[in-house]
Structure 1
């Protein structure tokens, strides 16, 4: 469940309280600003444990900045469904930057990221887009976190799992690309954590004028497999895999 804007968040919280379900349901924390994000999701691997995350926007004070120019403080927590206080937390100030390319969505990923027989990670996906028709750009970044006592620790930071972009003349001529990456758990391991197999697939499209028509020429690359190794602190990302700071 996701909440964007304080009004919606407060309505959702009040509704749950009135129904007497606040302890059973995963309710996103209320947010205030129109550009804030809040999300909550039950963790299927651990019944009764919920994951909560929020990104709170701080507008830039730099002269000439746009309304969406600024940074996001990021908060992450694990909360038992029958309690209000988190059992584990993580905080990162100025975790995300928003400007010409703005944060558009925050979501939680509870796929089977089993790194050891005892350790399972969960993911946070952050989507960024711009508003350009002629030079569109969209990216989704994935980070993975594990619990260590009362703390949550990132073990994979800002892997680009989706990217779309290109240039267009507004009529026909142009080029665009789309890259997707999926994550699988390998049977091998490094420094105690399972290696991650990243499958990358890229599709390119060129639009050209041929006579009176606009034709699409599409090229699809063969999937590429890349293995990420844990170095004792985090998974090391090759050049081009990590989001640009």
Structure 2
């Protein structure tokens, strides 16, 4: 019985949080005058270890929307969940463009990016992809933020997490390459924040026509060993550690 009561209380808590988030979203959209024709995307979440704070990532068209392309500016907002006031914001300095390589919507990432015992980062993710079946292409990115005096502070402006490209003859012949990057927290620290480990792997995929054309295409995949980079927090943001300079010291 106690188990069922605990489960019921847990789900009731989730429902209440969802209702609170819905109210916050509606209120923020009203404040920024959000409409489907003037904004490209909207994502909002309550900060897990700061229930009195929510963050939102919002992309607004900076040029008129056209099916073959548009530009947008992206803002990260901090909202007080009690007063529903905007208490901080960060505007990405660059303009994002969607054209033949289509831009995805912007999404918040609340994976456990624990930088120290008191500080947890959150991510903003976006990607690009082509619609070509003959020459497929895609790339994805993440930026990391912390809340500093309620202000969303960018500590990792842009890290490419994947890239893929290929050539296909619409039959059997295919040559493709993909690079995947995994972001991990290291046990070591610099300037009070955990170092970041970026593990990358290259995947080569090929496909060829068999001697007997009635047989399936001959597919092959080759994965490289993982390569590792260390990124350290210095001068207010994460930067890749230059291993050559470190070795000379």
Fold match, TM over 0.5?
yes
In structure 2, what is the equivalent of residue 27 of structure 1? 25
Residue 217 of structure 1: how far off its partner (Å): 1.1
In structure 2, what is the equivalent of residue 130 of structure 1? 130
Give the alignment of 1:101-112 within 5 angstroms.
Answer: 101-112=101-112
The change in CA–CA distance for 1:209 and 1:139 in structure 2 (over 3 A counts) is same
Residue 220 of structure 1: how far off its partner (Å): 1.3
The change in CA–CA distance for 1:238 and 1:58 in structure 2 (over 3 A counts) is farther
The change in CA–CA distance for 1:136 and 1:237 in structure 2 (over 3 A counts) is farther
SS of 1:230's equivalent in the other structure is strand
Provide the aligned C-alpha RMSD in A: 2.6
Deviations along 1:41-84, whole A, 9 cap, x unmatched?
Answer: 122122232211111123379xxxx7443321111112122232
In structure 1, what is the equivalent of residue 233 of structure 2? 230
Q: Is the 8 A contact 2:78 2:151 kept in 1?
A: no
What is the aligned residue count? 216
SS of 1:133's equivalent in the other structure is coil
The runs of at least 4 aligned residues of structure 1 exceeding 4 Å deviation read 22-26
Deviations along 1:96-122, whole A, 9 cap, x unmatched?
Answer: 222221212211111121223332211
- Between Structure 1 and Structure 2, which shows a larger proportion of helix residues? 2
SS of 1:27's equivalent in the other structure is helix
Structure 1 regions of 5+ residues with no counterpart? Answer: 1-19, 240-245
Deviations along 1:127-156, whole A, 9 cap, x unmatched?
Answer: 211111111112210000112224222111
Residue 175 of structure 1: how far off its partner (Å): 1.0
Q: What TM-score comes out, normalization by structure 1 length?
A: 0.78
Distance in 1 (CA, whole Å) between partners of 2:86 and 2:39 is 24
Say which is worse superposed, 23-32 or 193-202, in terms of deviation.
Answer: 23-32
The change in CA–CA distance for 1:130 and 1:35 in structure 2 (over 3 A counts) is farther
In structure 2, what is the equivalent of residue 46 of structure 1? 50
Distance in 1 (CA, whole Å) between partners of 2:204 and 2:23 is 43
The change in CA–CA distance for 1:182 and 1:59 in structure 2 (over 3 A counts) is same
Q: What TM-score comes out, normalization by structure 2 length?
A: 0.77
The change in CA–CA distance for 1:83 and 1:24 in structure 2 (over 3 A counts) is farther
- Does 1:176 pair with 2:180? no
Residue 187 of structure 1: how far off its partner (Å): 1.5
Distance in 1 (CA, whole Å) between partners of 2:93 and 2:67 is 20
Distance in 1 (CA, whole Å) between partners of 2:125 and 2:241 is 19
Distance in 2 (CA, whole Å) between partners of 1:161 and 1:205 is 19
Distance in 2 (CA, whole Å) between partners of 1:108 and 1:38 is 10
Q: Is the 8 A contact 2:109 2:124 kept in 1?
A: yes
In structure 1, what is the equivalent of residue 89 of structure 2? 89
Q: Is the 8 A contact 2:40 2:105 kept in 1?
A: no
Structure 2 regions of 5+ residues with no counterpart? Answer: 1-17, 243-249
